[in-house]
């Protein structure tokens, strides 16, 4: 039984999707005006683990993740660079895939873009106006927050406090300061490609309406899982609930899931604090596999403090996982037994799955991967081939299938393999100087030698 912490109820609940074996999941995607950063990576690795586990437990998952490809920030950046906003957005969408693919994140089934759904957005806004939940002021359309009686149920914010709060801002055109934009009138000097004809004049969608329209169009009026970073709870997800449920009079989302912030020295990562790290920059120093492992070391709802020290620890730990796997590969036949039959391994597998059943606890699941690693090291030169083969199958299942941590492959470079053979011969003849010389050559080529207790050795690429 899977249990999920639902932000809406602030409780851990049994997971029961609307359809027995089918899960609809909508994850808020990036606004492509800049390079993808570590905060994005955390969110998408978190929901990748969730998707992997749902698939492992037998669910079919329809996963939708949008691109907000028209936005104030995109327009501003495109004007600064004197290029079309569509070109800017496409460049950073390409960057998103280039970087996140390195993290071994499963693809969504659909990646809708706002610019592809303008007619549906206009229709949605018209219906909200017809139902008296929205109103037009000189080409802009706003949602009347006061008309939605459950406003604040996700964020636990009270409407009276919001009306008085400075965060919502003041606008003389709106009926109330906390009303939010559904449609924005085109401003002077804004590019043509970011503007569309509508019943209220030329303009473009507001931020919040986009996700409501894309999710309902592609997944239906009620979806099973909706999520993103904690910073989206208010106002974005709160506003999505208001406009969606106002239009459909149906429950919008069954389970709201939000991941914790990435912090740097205990402060939230942000450009204003100059502690902002893009994935491209991080990957120049650390292998993406290390970054993925690091992102799994804390429960998704907890803050994750970024540091080189933390990544260095992850690197050393992952090296141990890799070393163990390569030792195992060198000790067994290439044909693997796919079925786990040994009782202790079945029990360990169930413990691993139950860790992920419990609100997708990757931190605890990793502990069972390490327990399995220790079993392998203990039994490597004593266990029977069938047992070793089962250990290999389970190790791959934990690391690659469930946690998305790709395991290394044996290096088949002929030149390096000859060097390894020469080194083994030198060791056999106790020619330690020659053995060390060859090791240094291999090391300079970016590879590491893993020596087994039985005298055999394997090569692995250093991370």
Q: Is 33 exposed, middle or buried (0-12, 13-18, 19+ CB in 10 A)?
A: buried
- Helix (H/G/I), strand (E/B), else coil: 176: coil
Q: Quick check: 91 and 53 in contact, CB under 8 A?
A: no
Whether the predicted pLDDT of 309 surpasses 70: yes
List pLDDT tens digits, range 147-184.
Answer: 999 999 999 998 877 765 544 445 557 899 899 999 99
Phi, psi (deg, nearest 5) at residue 388: -60, -40
pLDDT band at 228 (very low <50, low <70, confident <90, very high): very high
Residue 167: per-residue pLDDT: 47
- Helix (H/G/I), strand (E/B), else coil: 334: coil
3-state secondary structure 92-158: HHHHHHHHHHHHCCCCCCECCEHHHCHHHHHHHHHHHHHCCCEEEECCEEEECHHHCCCCCCCCCCC
User: Residue-wise over 198-227: b if at least 16 C-beta within 10 A, else e?
Assistant: bebeebbbbbbbbbbbbbbbbbebbbbbbb
Angle at 451 between CA 450 and CA 454, to 5 degrees: 145
Q: In what order do the strands lie in the sheet with 262-264?
A: 267-268, 262-264, 304-306
The mean pLDDT value for 25-31 works out to 98
Sort strands 11-14 and 203-205 into parallel, antiparallel or unpaired.
Answer: unpaired
List pLDDT tens digits, range 111-158.
Answer: 999 999 999 999 999 999 999 999 999 999 999 999 999 999 999 998
pLDDT band at 268 (very low <50, low <70, confident <90, very high): confident
The mean pLDDT value for 41-55 works out to 98
Q: Is 154 exposed, middle or buried (0-12, 13-18, 19+ CB in 10 A)?
A: buried
pLDDT band at 416 (very low <50, low <70, confident <90, very high): confident
CATH class for the region spanning 15-259: alpha beta
Lowest mean pLDDT among 133-137, 186-190, 343-347, 358-362: 186-190
The percent of residues in the chain predicted with pLDDT above 70, rounded, is 96
Q: How far apart are CA 38 and CA 164, in angstroms?
A: 34
Lowest mean pLDDT among 177-191, 282-296, 406-420: 406-420
Residue 160: per-residue pLDDT: 77
Residue 166: per-residue pLDDT: 41
DSSP state of 221: S
Give me the chain's average pLDDT, please. Answer: 93
Distance of CA 5 to the CA centre of its chain: 17
Whether the predicted pLDDT of 394 surpasses 80: yes
Residue 168: per-residue pLDDT: 45
pTM of the model: 0.92
List pLDDT tens digits, range 177-225.
Answer: 899 999 999 998 889 999 999 999 999 999 999 999 999 999 999 999 9
Q: Quick check: 56 and 401 in contact, CB under 8 A?
A: yes
Cβ neighbours, 10 Å, residue 125: 25
Going from N- to C-terminal start, the domains of the chain cover: 15-259, 279-402, 414-461
Q: How far apart are CA 435 and CA 110, in angstroms?
A: 54
Residue 172: per-residue pLDDT: 57
Whether the predicted pLDDT of 396 surpasses 50: yes
Residue 461: per-residue pLDDT: 79
Backbone φ/ψ region at 189: left (φ over 0), alpha (ψ -120 to 50), beta: left
Residue 244 CB partners (closer than 8 Å, separation 6+): 212, 215, 216, 221, 252
Domain 279-402 falls in which CATH fold? Isoleucyl-tRNA Synthetase; Domain 1 (1.10.730)
């Amino acid at each position: 039984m899977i249990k999920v912490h639902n932000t809406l109820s602030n409780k851990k609940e049994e997971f029961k999707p609307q359809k027995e074996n089918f899960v609809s999941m909508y994850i808020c995607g990036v606004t492509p005006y800049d390079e993808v950063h570590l905060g994005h990576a955390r969110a998408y690795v978190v929901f990748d683990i969730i998707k992997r586990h749902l698939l492992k437990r037998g669910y079919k998952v329809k996963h939708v993740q949008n691109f907000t490809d028209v936005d104030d920030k995109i327009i501003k950046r495109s004007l600064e660079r004197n290029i079309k906003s569509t070109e800017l957005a496409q460049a950073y969408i390409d960057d998103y895939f280039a970087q996140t693919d390195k993290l071994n994140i499963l693809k969504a089934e659909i990646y809708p873009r706002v610019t592809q759904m303008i007619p549906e957005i206009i229709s949605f806004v018209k219906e909200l106006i017809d139902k008296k939940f929205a109103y037009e002021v000189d080409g802009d359309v706003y949602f009347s927050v006061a008309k939605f009686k459950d406003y604040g149920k996700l964020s636990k914010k009270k409407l009276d406090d919001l009306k008085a709060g400075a965060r919502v801002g003041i606008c003389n055109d709106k009926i109330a300061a906390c009303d939010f934009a559904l449609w924005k009138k085109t401003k002077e000097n804004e590019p043509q490609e970011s503007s569309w004809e509508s019943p209220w004049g030329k303009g473009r969608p507001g931020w919040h309406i986009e996700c409501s329209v894309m999710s309902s169009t592609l997944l239906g009026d009620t979806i099973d899982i909706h999520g993103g970073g904690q910073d989206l709870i208010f106002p974005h997800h709160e506003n999505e609930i208001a406009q969606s449920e106002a239009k459909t009079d149906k429950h919008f989302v069954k389970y709201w899931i939000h991941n914790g912030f990435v912090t740097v020295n205990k402060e939230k990562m942000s450009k204003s604090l100059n502690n902002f790290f893009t994935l491209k920059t991080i990957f120049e120093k650390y292998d993406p596999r290390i970054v993925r492992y690091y992102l799994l070391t804390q429960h998704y709802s907890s803050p994750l403090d970024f540091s080189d020290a933390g990544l260095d620890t992850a690197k050393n730990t992952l090296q141990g996982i890799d070393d163990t796997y390569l030792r195992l590969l060198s000790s067994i036949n290439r044909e693997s037994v796919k079925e786990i039959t040994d009782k202790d391994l079945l029990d360990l597998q169930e413990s691993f799955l139950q860790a992920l059943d419990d609100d997708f606890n990757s931190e605890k699941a990793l502990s069972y991967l390490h327990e399995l690693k220790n079993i392998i090291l203990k039994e490597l030169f004593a266990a029977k081939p069938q047992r070793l083969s089962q250990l290999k199958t389970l190790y791959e299942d934990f690391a690659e299938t469930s946690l998305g941590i790709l395991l290394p492959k044996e290096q088949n470079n002929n030149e390096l393999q000859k060097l390894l053979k020469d080194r083994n011969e030198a060791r056999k003849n106790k020619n330690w100087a020659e053995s060390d010389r060859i090791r240094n050559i291999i090391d300079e080529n970016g590879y590491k030698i893993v020596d087994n207790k039985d005298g055999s050795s394997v090569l692995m690429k250093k991370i």
